[in-house]
Structure 1
Amino acid sequence: MDTDLIEEVAARLQLRAPNKAALEAVARRLDEADEPLDGVCDLATGVGKTYIAAALVDYLYESGVRNILIVTPGSTVFGKTVNNFTPGHTKYVNGLESNPLVITSEDFDRGAVAHALADDTRLKVFVFNVQQLIKPTQNTSRKVREHDENLGGSLYEHLQQVSDLVVIADEHHVYFGKNAKAFTSAVKDLKPLALIGLTATPSENTTDDQIIYNYPLAAAIADGFVKIPVLVARKDGQVTLRRQLADGLLLLDRKREALVAYCAKQDCNPVNPVMFVVCESIDDANEVASELRGPDMLGSDEAVLVVTSESPDESLAALDKVEDPASPVRAIVSVQMLKEGWDVKNIYVICALRALESQALSEQILGRGLRLPFGSRTGVPMLDSVEVLSHRRFHDLLANARALLEATFKERAEKVVAETATGQVSGTATATGGEDLVLPSDGEAADQVTRVDGIVGTGQLTIEGVGTAGASAADSEGSVGLVFQEFEDRAREAEAAVLLLQQDMSPRSDAPRILFPRLDKQIQPQPFTLSDVADDDARLRGLNYRSEIASPLDRVGLVAERRGEAIDVTPRKQAEDIAASQEMLPVIDLITEMTGKVLNSGLVIPEMKEKNAVRRLIRAFLAGAGVEDPETAEWSQRRVQVATDAFLHLVREKHKNRPSGIVEKIEPIGYPPSTLPSVTETLDRYTVQNAATFVPGKPYTGWTKSILPAAAFDAYSTEYRLADLLDSAPEITWWVRVLPNYGAYLNYGANQRYIPDLIAIDTTGVHWLIEGKADVRANDKDVLAKKEAAERWVRHVNDSGEVEAEWRYLFATETNVKHAAGSWVGLKQVTGS
C-alpha cells in the first residue's frame, strides 16, 4: 500500500475522512489479497461514492493499472459516470489527474479508441450498463460481445485478455436481483484483478468478509456529512394528499427564504430548493403533477418536473439542470426511478404517497435529500435538515418509531432512545440492537405525550455510541438521529429561522476588518519546460512537411458570348491548376525563425536550457520532414510559414496539457463579515462572577474592545476568561471571537479545518491567533495536530512576504490562564509565546 500516494490523491480530490479511509481499506486489501479481490465498500448515501471511485481510478493508475471497467445499473447512473470521468465536461471530478479515456459500448469502434486499447501508457475507463456486460441470449445481442474488425475480436474478449483489469461496480446491490447469476458469471469470466463494489445498501447476498469498509448513515449524520432527516406529521389528522403537498410547499418556501438570506450574507452562489415527490405509478405521478401545477399551489407547468419511464428526453435534460439557480423547477415527481445515482444537492423536502410511505425512509429514497448544497453544514438548523412529510398523525408517527428506525438504519443501530423535548415518552418496544425503545402507548393522547412546558411535538430518535463531529439540527452529546416534529411547530421554527437570518449584527463602525491570511491548497499547472517534450513528438509533426506545399495561381478567363446584338463578357475560373513560383529559403533560416517565435511566445523562459531544448526539437522536427542537412536544404516560403506555425502549435499544445500539482497559496479573508445573523437573547458579561454563573453558548455583551457587539463561548475557564483578559489588557487594542462558516480557519490533516477561539491585535500591530484548551484535553492527538498546524501556518504566513501584519499563535491551557492572573504580559510568559 502506497501511503504517500493515498495522501496525495486524498489532498488533490479533497476527500472526506470516510472516503479517504475507504481508499486506504481498498488499497490494503489489494496488497493483502492472494487471489482476485471481491469486496464491497458500504458507505452511506450522500457521503460521496463518486469521489471514492475517482480516487480509486487515480490510485490504480499511479499503481500501474491501465484498464478499469465501471459497471452502472441504469441510464441515469451511466450518464452521470461518463460525465464524471470525461475531461472537459462540467461534471468532471475536480482534481482527477489520470486523464482517462472513457470508452462506452457506443463508441469503442472508433479508430482512435482501437489505437488507445493497444497503448500501455493510456488509462482506459470502460463504462457499461450491467445489461451490456452480461452474456446475450438467443433473442438478444450485446455490442460489446460482437466481433469488431478494428479489434480483431469483441471488446469483451479484449477485456478478458488484458492482465490488469479492475472492475468497479457502482450501486453494487442492484446486481443481485434476477440477473445476479448472469452478472457474477460475466465478471468472473473477465478474470479481473479485483471487483470492488460501491453501495449504500449492500445486498443480503454480500457476506461480512466481503465488506472492505463500512460507514453507515448514522455515522454520516453524526459526523455532519449529510443533512439531518426531520420527520414531520400533523397532529390534527388532516392527512389528505393535497394537505401533504401544501404543507411541503409551505416548508419549501421557508427553506427558499432562509437560503436567499443565508447566501446573501455568505456571498455564495444561490441555491434553489426543490421538493421530491415519490409516487407508486405513472397515473399517480400525473395526478400529483396536476395538483402541484394548480393556481393554489405552484401555479406553473414549468415549476413541476415529472420523471417516469415515459418521460421525454427534455425532462431528463431538465433534471440535469435542476441545481442551476435559474432553474424554474420547484417540485420533482418521480415513480421510483430516481433511487440511485441521482446526485443533486438541493432537495429539501421529500414527500411519499401513502402507499409508499413505509419506503420513504429507506436509504435510497431518503438519500436523494441528504446531500449538502454548500459541501458542509451551515450551522443553521433549518438549512442543515431535509423535511420528510408523513401522512400519519404525529402520535402515530412516534408509535411507529421502531419500524422507521429499521427502515432507515437497519441493523446498524446499536442503541435507540426516543426522546421528547425534555423527557421520555411512555410505552416500550424492542429496538434493533436489543435495547428497549420507549414509545407512546395506544391509549395516550398525543398532547399528553409531547407537550412539555409549552413545547409541542418535538422528539428525536437517537442512536447512541456514534460520535458527533458536525453540527446537528437536534444534537445531543454522543448521539444523532431522526428528528420528529409536529407540522405547526416545524412551520413556526422555519419562520423564526428566516427572521433570524434576515436580521444583522454589525461589527463596530470604528473597528478594523481583519485580513485573515488563509493558507489554502490549490491545484495549478506545474512550470513548463521544453525539456519535458520528447523528440518523437516533434518528429511526428515533421512528417506532414516532407514535400513542398503548392501555391496555385488564381486564373480567371473572360468568356465573350453574343446575345443577339449584344455581347456578354463573363469571368470564369480556369480549371487547370498552375503553381505559382515561390521564393526558396535556406532551412537554416527556418531554425532561427522557429527558435525566436518559441522563445518570444511567453510559454517558456528564454534561458539557455530552453534555447537548447527548442533547437533539439527543431532538429527532430526537420528529421521527420526529411531534412538531412539544414545547411544546404531549401524550402519554399509557404512551406516555411506553415511548418513554423505547426511547430509553434505543438509547443502550445504541450504547454496547455502540462501536469498540475498542489501548491499552498494565501487567500486573504476579510473577518468579521460586515453582516452576521443577529442573536435573539444576550446576557451582560458583568453577571459572570465564576464558572457557576457562566452560561455556555449564550452571547455576552458589554465588551469594550470586541469588534463584534456580542460573543458566545463554550467554556468559562479558557475561552471566556481569555476574552475577559483581552478586553481589559492595556496592550490589546481589539479582539474578536472566531465564528465557524465565515472563512477564518486553518487547514490541517486530511481536509480538516481548525477554527481557533480568538483573534487579538496588540498595540504594536501584531495579530494573535489564540486557542484556549482544558488541561485534560491539552495533549489530545487532535489538539496537538491543530497546534502543530497553527505553528506551521504562522511560519508560512510571516515568511510569505504577502501579508502586511505579523501573526503569532498563543496556545493556553486553563492552568496557563489561571496563572496569568488577568495579565496579557503574564499570559505570554506562562505560555512561552
Structure 2
Amino acid sequence: MPTSNARLPPVPRACLLMVVGGVCRGRVMVRDGVVDDEFWAVVASLLSAHGTRRGRPWNDHRRTLEGICWWFRTRSPWWDVPEVFGLYQSLWKRHKRWSVDGTYQRMLDAVIGSDLSDTIVVELIWVDSTVVRTRLHAAGARKDTGGLSNHKKSEIAEPVMFLVTSMIEEATEYHDLLVGSDMLGTAEQVLLVTSEEPDTTFALLDKLEEPEFPVRAVVSVSMLKEGWDVKNIYVIASVRSMGSNLLTERILGRGLRIPFGQRNGNPMLDTVEVLSHRSLASLLKQAKSLLAQTLGDRVDEASMVVNPVDGRYAFGVDIGAGGELPADVSFPESGTVEFELPGFAATDPTQDKLFDLDPDEVAGNSTRHNGLMVTTLDDRANAGAAANEALKRVLTPRTPGGATIPLFLPFVVTRWVRDRFTLASINLDSVESLGQRFAKDNAPTLTRKAVDAERDSKSEAHVVICDQVEQAIASQTVMPFDTIENDLVGRLIRTNAVEASVGELNVAVGVAKAFLAGAEVTEETPRRPEHGRLATARLTEWIAAKQISSPAREVRPVRWPEPSERYETRPPADRQVVTSSCEFVRVYPYAGYAEAVYEINSFDAYSTEFVLADLFERSRSVRAWVRVDENIPLRVTYLSGVVQRQYEPDFIVIDVEGVHWIVEGKRDSEMGAPIAIPKRDAAAAWVNTVNASDEVHETWSYLVASESVCSAATTWDALKSGGQVHR
C-alpha cells in the first residue's frame, strides 16, 4: 500500500467504466447466446424503466442484452456479434449507456437479492502470496512528461484497503485483526460494514476521500451499497472465493478509480492491487484465463516481460491468440511478470479505449504500456519501498564545477513594430501604372423605352412598350478634379506610419498626381464620387501593403530555480543500465549525473539528448549543465509561417570559460527540415539580442548538433567542431 499523504497536483477525476457483464455466466447463459426466462423475470422491469425516447423506439431490450452477453462470453470484437442480436453499433452504445447510468449495478443488486444468486458460480483467481497489479491508464496519459516535477499546490489522497468477507462473524474477526497493535493499531482506522451496523456507518463511506478521515481499511460482507464511488481504494482483498463474476467485477470496480485523475508515473500510485491465495508460479500457469478476464479483446496484442528492470526497456515474448503463451516459456518461481500492450495508454475520460484501442493509433507506433503485472509480495514490498523513497526525496540544485546558483536566465520578449515609412520611397511609375486600372469610368447606362397604343381586330385599344435602339448615360453628380485630388492626398496622409509633416504632404501631392495621370483624370474629365472613392481606396491599400514590421526584442533576466526544490514521482534508474537505444525508456528518470545541476534527469531521445548528457559528464571542458524542461524559463521565439511560436531548447551548458550555451541535438533527417531552419535562425538571433543587452552579464552561444555528430564526438570541443555554432 502506498505511503500516506501522497501529494500530487489536483486534476479532474476520471473513472474506468467497468464491464459488469458477468450476467452471461451460469444460469444466465444456459443456452448459447440466450438469456433464460428466470433471469429475465428478475431484470426485465429494470430495463423497461428506460421507457420510450424521441424518434426511433429502443431495440428489444432482451435481444440487446443477449447480444452483449454473447460478446462478453466469446470475447469477440463487437463487429463479430451475430446480426440476430441487432447492429453491433447499437449493442455497444447500449452497453456503454447501461455502464454509465447504473443499469448493470441495479441488475446485479436484483440478482443477488433473488433466488438466482446461489446458482451463479464462476471461479475467480484470488491469491494468497501474490499481487495482481492492474495499471490504471487515465486522462492525460499520452503526454507523459516524466522528469522532475515542482508541485506548488497539492492534493492529498490517503490509500484505503477494501476487504471482502462472506459472513458477519468473519468480517468481525478480520476487523479485530486489523486493529491490532501489529496492524493498523486503532479501531478508528478500520470501518466495519455489515447489515448489523447502523446507518451512520454507511454514511461514513462517503468520507473516505477526505484527507483528514482516519479510516485506512474497509471490511465488508459481500457488497456495498449501490452507487458507492471512492477513488482512493488501492488494495482489494477477498477471504472467500467470489460467488459470481458479477460480484467480482463490482468489487474490482471499487479499485478502478484514479485518485488524481491521471497517471503520475509512480508505480504505487498508478495501480490497484488485488491480493490472492496462490503462488506466483501456479497463477502464471493459468495466465490464459487471467489475461482473457483482464485484457479482453486486446489479449492477442499483449507481450510478456519477466523480471523487468526499471529504466531499461526489454522486448517481451508475444502472446498468442486467446492468451496462449509459447510452449517453451518458463515461468519464474518468484519476481515480477509484466504483460504489455501496444500504443499509448488510454486518454479518453471514460477509458473505453483501455480495452478497445483504435488500430490506427497503434499502426507505426512502437510505444508500449503496461496493462497487467503479476508479482510476489516481496517484490511488491521492495517496489513500494522504492516508490516511497522517491516521493519523499527532495531534489535541490547543486553547484557542480563551481557554477553559480541561482542562474539569471535571459527572457526575451519579442514585439513586432511597424518600420518607419515615407511616401518618398514609393515608385511613381508603379503608382501611375496602378492608376491605369481606373482609367475607364463604367457609369451605368439607361435604356430608352417607347410607349405606344394600338387597336386589335376587335377595335380594342392596347398599350405597347418596347426598347429603343439608342441608350443614354445616366445623369450623375460628378466630382470635380480638385476634389478628387484633395481627397486622395488626405487619405495618403492619414495612412498608418505616414508622418503628418509638410514634407510628406508635398510627396503625397506628387503621388496623387501620378495616380490621377494614369487614370486619365483631368479637370476636363471629372469622375463620379463613387468611382473616385473606389480609386483612392485602392491606392491607399496598395501603399499600406508596402509598409513592413520588424521584431523588437526586450531582454529581462529571470531568476532560476525559483523555487529550488523539486520532486520525482518515479524511482529513478541508474543511467548505466542503458547501454543502447534499444534499452532506453523515453522520459524515464535517470540518476548518476555528477555535472548536472540536478542529479536526476529524463530525456525524450537516446541518440541526441541521452548521448549528449553522457558527453557532458565525460568532458573536462564542461563545468555544469541543465536539462531544459517546463520548469525552466528559457524559450526561443520563432515564426512558423505568420504565426509566432516558442520552443524549448534541450540543454544549458556552462563551459570552463564561463560561456553559457544553448545546446540542441537533432536527428539527421531534421537538420534541414523546414521547421528546424526558422528555429535555428531564431536561436541565433536570440543569442545576438542577449549578448547586446546591458541587462545580461554573461556571454551566451548557441550550438546545434546532428545525431551523427553527437555519436561521433567524444569531447565538448569535438562537439563544437562538428556542430553548428552561433555566438
TM range (shorter): 0.3 to 0.5
Q: Tell me: higher relative CO, structure 1 or 2? Use CA pairs within 8 A at least 6 residues apart.
A: 2
| Higher-Rg member (1/2) | 2
Relative to the length of structure 1, the TM-score reads 0.40
Relative to the length of structure 2, the TM-score reads 0.45
